[in-house]
Structure 1
């Protein structure tokens, strides 16, 4: 049996979630500005660039909402709502503030099993396994997000009418 010593990280669940919630709001500004440039000034490439930046951060925020939500033992509804806040411009910021006020982002990463009945579930075992390997978790997250992002680029924007 291999024993993995967890690596200490300054990135707490709160810090990760707050950073990506803020980044999601910033990329909304980039996307809205790009749309104004496209439709008011004819700068066609602005939406491609702004939309790409926003899309990648949107997916990263969604991943972080699920990761942090599982770590913090949020119910499925709260996790889903956290992800859905990225769809509404700037909604991630007030939702993150509410989470902080309610204490839903307090605590560290759960690297070890505790007394909670769900700690033996496969989701929580997988969470602890990946959290004990933060470099691997980061690589898997970035590759996964990039793969989904690339697939969405190939599919293209929704067709209206």
Structure 2
């Protein structure tokens, strides 16, 4: 099994975000167009929201690690909003070589800023990083569920 480097992680979550968008759109069609059932939205909505947040976290982490410009990180985050836009963004990143197979900050001495030093410490312990990222994402997700869906629907 190949290691989960920044390029592979970003691609995996970009694809997952697009798939969950498709599931949510199908659920919305069943609910609003055919008035068949709202089960699709009930199931796909939270899954898509969770994967959306994971994609956003990974985009920021990969962007910092791979030294993307701030505009590239913002574009990556914005690509999660319209359906399926993460796919062309990820392909653009891959074609430009912006997300390689290795974590730059996982090695010693590559940090410059405080954010890079913190991220380097996290990347050197990937299991702990995954648990922390999952916990933070779950917390944000829980807060978003508590606040409610956009538009109060």
Q: Settle same-fold status: TM greater than 0.5.
A: yes
Matched, 1:83 2:77: yes
- Name which of 106, 109, 112 aligns with 1:120: 112
Between the aligned partners of 2:22 and 2:57, the Cα distance in structure 1 is: 21
Q: Which has the larger radius of gyration?
A: 1
Deviations 1:39-86 (A, max 9, x none): 213312321211111100000000000010001000111111101100
Q: Structure 2 unaligned segments of length 5 or more: list them.
A: none
Deviations 1:84-142 (A, max 9, x none): 1000110000111111111111241122223xxxx321011111100111111001100
Q: Structure 1 unaligned segments of length 5 or more: list them.
A: 1-8
Between the aligned partners of 1:11 and 1:101, the Cα distance in structure 2 is: 19
Secondary structure at 1:48 match in 2: helix
Shift of 1:157: 1.4
- Name which of 94, 102, 107 aligns with 2:88: 94
Matched, 1:13 2:13: no
RMSD of equivalent CA atoms: 1.3
Query: Could you tell me the TM-score, scaled by structure 2's length?
Result: 0.92
Match for residue 147 of structure 2? 155
Matched, 1:36 2:29: yes
Query: Could you tell me the TM-score, scaled by structure 1's length?
Result: 0.87
Query: Runs of at least 4 residues of structure 1 off by over 3 A?
Result: none
